[in-house]
Amino acid sequence: MAFSLHLLSLGEGATAHLESGGFIRSEPGVPHPDIQYHFLPSQVIDHGRVASTMEAYQVHVGPMRSTSVGWLKLKSTDPNDHPIIEPNYMSTERDIWEFRQCVKLTREIFAQKAFEKFRGPEIQPGNHVQSDKEIDAFIRQKADSAYHPSCTCKMGQLSDSTAVVDPQTKVIGVENLRVVDASIMPSVVSGNLNAPTIMIAEKAADIIKGLPSLQEKNVPVYKPKTLETQR
């Protein structure tokens, strides 16, 4: 989801897009970052397919672990036919609430003193969008998928009717076929998919070669002291 403000400073930006980003929690008590930010020094509309008519800066923001679950199935027995994909966006109240938080928390960030000399009028969603109902309507109009789809080919045990591949990355019910990519993740990770996909591929390579697991035992996991009190 894009969130834009006028850029008041002058001069060309000698920088690439998306050099600044971050992860935050939507509320106290959430055990993992569930909102991701990509900050841009310009305005990008519809993934760059629509030219901007003004100078602006922008942030792309969205929930990390959507609770909405879609589905994918074959259209026919013809392998040349595209499959039927139903992402089922925003089909849970939690997803709607998290997207709403994305807008509210982004406004909180852009309202900070550090942005004062750069801040102009809010372009999207605009100051006229304030109520939860208005924010939800904006989100439904503007939200779309980013570039990190996963979990369409879930890994699981043979007893799991929703699993497509087994713990050895083999397609269940099909001989001599494996899937090794982000699609076999059982659930969405809190971050981009490049690094975990590389890890999946290296693990699958070890499985195929019959090498033992490299997993260490009792690895400590960091837990912030403010988990229950702060975002």
Q: Where do the domains of the chain lie, and which CATH numbers do they carry?
A: 2-142 (3.30.560.10), 149-215 (no CATH)
Identify the burial level of 117 via C-beta atoms within 10 angstroms of its C-beta, where 0-12 means exposed, 13-18 middle and 19 or more buried.
exposed
What does the pLDDT read at residue 205?
96
For CA atoms 61, 65, 67, 68, the dihedral sign is positive
14, two tokens? 């000698």
Residue range 183-224, pLDDT digits in tens: 999 988 888 899 999 999 999 999 999 998 877 788 888 888
What pLDDT score was predicted for residue 184? 97
pLDDT over 50 at 89, yes or no: yes
Question: Length of the chain in residues, anyone?
Answer: 231
Task: Give the percent of the chain with pLDDT over 90.
Answer: 55
pLDDT at position 8 over 50? no
pLDDT (0 to 100) of residue 170: 97
Mean pLDDT for 154-181 is 96
Q: Which of 6, 17, 60, 148 is catalytic?
A: 148
Percent of the chain with pLDDT over 70: 93
Provide the whole-model pTM: 0.80
Identify the weakest region by mean pLDDT among 33-42, 135-144, 219-228. 219-228
**148 is annotated as an active-site residue:** yes
